Amino acid sequence: MIWNEKMECADRDTMRSVQLEKLKKTVKHAYDNVSHYRNKMDEAGVKPEDIKSLDDITKLPFITKEDIAANYPTGLFAEPMKDIVRIHASSGTTGKPKIVGYTRNDLDLWGECVARGMTMAGASQESVVHVSYGYGLFTGGMGAHLGAETIGATVIPMSSGNTQKQITFLQDMKSDILCCTPSYALTIAEGVKKVGIKPEELNLSAGIFGAEPWTQSMRDKIEEGLGIRAYDIYGLSEIMGPGVSMSCEENAGMHVQEDYFYVEIIDPDTLEVLPDGEKGELVITTLGKEGMPMIRYRTRDICYLMRDKCACGRTTVRMSRVFGRTDDMLIIRGVNVFPSQVETVIAEFKELTMNYKLYVGRENNTDTFELAVELAEGLAIEDIAFVEALRGRIEHALRDMLGIGCKVKLLNEGTLPRSEGKAVRVEDTRNLG
Amino acid sequence: MIVKQVSVFVENTVGRLADLTKILTDNNIDLKASTIAETVDFGILRCIVEEPEKTVKILVENGFSASISEVTGVSLEDKPGGLHKVLAVLAEAGIAVNYIYSTIKSAEGKAIIMMKTSDAAKAEEVLKASGVELAGADSF
């Protein structure tokens, strides 16, 4: 089923003309109502009338997380507070949260986007949607909730935590769609196994997972442990929340709701727009959001775009999974590596603690890459074979996640230096100057 | 006799083993027998002590991954063929030996060995039946 066939399967010309109309409106709306946009555009010597084609978007300045912080709390709102009906927030870079405001229309738009995504996972009016994302300022819970309500499904607003209760509801309410973070899905899957319920005894058919990077092995474990198909959902609160894009049954990248979000990939250093298929930083322009329009927002998320037609029939552009963030990206042997990806792998192993450090160096003109990680307290280690097997499994999972090899060194708990503030996770001794 | 052995994970860095022996010293724990299995990055110290549970507790409190496993202790005549006799009995009974380490007790002309086998209970049974003298932590 396709929720909105007209838009999701539109031909390129139709989509581009819809996008252009909405882009013109968005730029004018932002210019007229938000001093930040007006000042930046004036500085760049560009007026709303200069946007005559979609390609003209490159004339517009970017907006960044720092700009959001500088306009804290509501400086980027384009509507008066009387028309803002909802606030969400996410943690900001400077310690202050990023505050986002939604008008009534923005919530409808959000619901429409999530409804399209949930339909990809098979949701319908008959579905019981179990939402285990956190409810509150975080957009996960209420975003998924809104999508399920838009479809007309039965929503169970569980929020996260209390795994035992989650399992009881999954069982007794015969939920067929689960929405949560992949790591929490894994916890639920383990809980289900622990209490001796077989996956087929649950009525679940699909899971909609997002908000953190995850590995193929995690996906396999979740799919097997809960007897479901796993779908990726992408979003960020600055732009809207979950539902900006979502993977369909083909699992071939996430379909971007292009009539609401114009996406570009740029080289984070040169800021040049990159062609489809090339990895770079995702830049999003909202098309139609009123409360807080975002024009050329630098997400810092690294991915690439695919524009060939998907076998599911949808014609919307697809984005790859997010490989990490530009902030903490390391380039090792030519491959982009993110500590967050390593963290995801470590979290999969009960035998490890989250205390780790990455060492990058150079020997004989080749980058060396090593992960030192502490063993969980009280882990029973009797022989070398056990340690070697564990190390082998970690190295395999790292290669699966990163695409390059990483040597693993296991340490006793408490061996790595503890820091008072933000942990120093990477030591790069390459002299690349 | 089935003996409780303590295994400790030790990183291969200078002074790390001394960290471990300092903890044992401070807590007045005597190593009756010990061996280290090593790789490039780490080693596993296996030892026999009088109070294995207490030793593991102290080591874990000090950040070491330590655990208890069961090995079989045997007291041998310290002369050619002594070890062979024991191994022949185990082989006959289809019991695999994973590793062995030994301590010479020269005053009595005996050698005490610790063996990790595939089946500790069965190993004890067949060794006893063959008249092999078994040894425990108190035999040292």
Render pLDDT for B107-137 as a digit per residue (tens, 0 to 9): 677 888 899 999 999 999 999 999 888 988 7
Cβ-Cβ contacts under 8 Å, B64 against chain A: 412
Q: Three-state DSSP class for A229?
A: strand
pLDDT at A337: 86
Lowest mean per-residue pLDDT among A5-9, A80-84, A339-343, A387-391: A339-343
Write the pLDDT tens digit of every residue in A245-260: 999 999 999 999 999 9
Report the amino acid identity of residue A423.
A
Residue A289: band (very low, low, confident or very high) from pLDDT cuts 50, 70, 90: very high
pLDDT at A330: 85
CB atoms within 10 A of CB B22: 12
**What proportion of chain A, given as a percentage, has pLDDT over 70?**
97
A388 touches chain B (CB under 8 A): yes
Which of B65, B101, B117 best tests the A interface by mutation, with the highest count of A CBs <10 A?
A: B65
pLDDT at A68: 94
pLDDT at A180: 93
A121's tokens: 């996972």
Answer whether B2-68 and B71-139 agree in fold: yes
Phi, psi of A204 (to 5 degrees): -65, 135
Cβ-Cβ contacts under 8 Å, B12 against chain A: none
Q: Specify the higher pLDDT residue, A177 or A95.
A: A177
Burial class (CB in 10 A: 0-12, 13-18, 19+), A52: exposed
pLDDT at A212: 74
Residue A379: band (very low, low, confident or very high) from pLDDT cuts 50, 70, 90: confident
Report the amino acid identity of residue A9.
C
Which of A359, A391, A407, A412 best tests the B interface by mutation, with the highest count of B CBs <10 A?
A: A412
**B2-68 CATH:** 3.30.2130.10
A148's tokens: 């399920």
pLDDT at B105: 67
Cβ-Cβ contacts under 8 Å, B65 against chain A: 375, 377-381, 412-413
Total-model pTM = 0.71
Cβ-Cβ contacts under 8 Å, A388 against chain B: 39
Per-residue pLDDT at A184 exceeds 90: no
d(CA A127, CA B17): 60
Burial class (CB in 10 A: 0-12, 13-18, 19+), A429: exposed
Cβ of A380 and B67 within 8 Å? Answer: yes
3-state helix, strand, coil in chain A (%, to 5): 35, 25, 40
B13's tokens: 């860095």
Show the low-confidence residues of chain B (pLDDT under 50): none
d(CA A122, CA A130): 14
pLDDT at A364: 83
Give the CATH superfamily of B71-139: VC0802-like (3.30.2130.10)
Residue A348: band (very low, low, confident or very high) from pLDDT cuts 50, 70, 90: confident
Averaged over A364-376, what is the pLDDT?
91
A415 touches chain B (CB under 8 A): yes
What are A178's strand-pairing partners? A130, A207
Please report the DSSP string for A149-209 in residue order: HHHTPEEEE--S--HHHHHHHHHHTT--EEEE-HHHHHHHHHHHHHTT--GGGS---EEEE
Residue A89: band (very low, low, confident or very high) from pLDDT cuts 50, 70, 90: very high
Per-residue pLDDT at A433 exceeds 60: no
Q: Specify the higher pLDDT residue, A295 or A66.
A: A295
pLDDT at A90: 86
Q: Three-state DSSP class for B75?
A: strand
Chain mean pLDDT for chain A: 92
Distance of CA A326 to the CA centre of its chain: 14
Q: Say if CB A403 and CB A335 are below 8 A apart.
A: yes
Omega of the bond leading into A199 within 30 degrees of 0 (cis): no
pLDDT at A354: 80
| Through-space distance between the first and last CA atoms of chain B, rounded to whole angstroms | 13
User: Domains of chain B: which residue ranges?
Assistant: 2-68, 71-139
Enter the ipTM: 0.74
Per-residue pLDDT at A340 exceeds 90: no
Residue B11: which of A382, A388, A415 has the nearest Cβ? A415
Cβ of A409 and B10 within 8 Å? Answer: no
Q: β-strands A366-375, B2-11: how paired?
A: unpaired
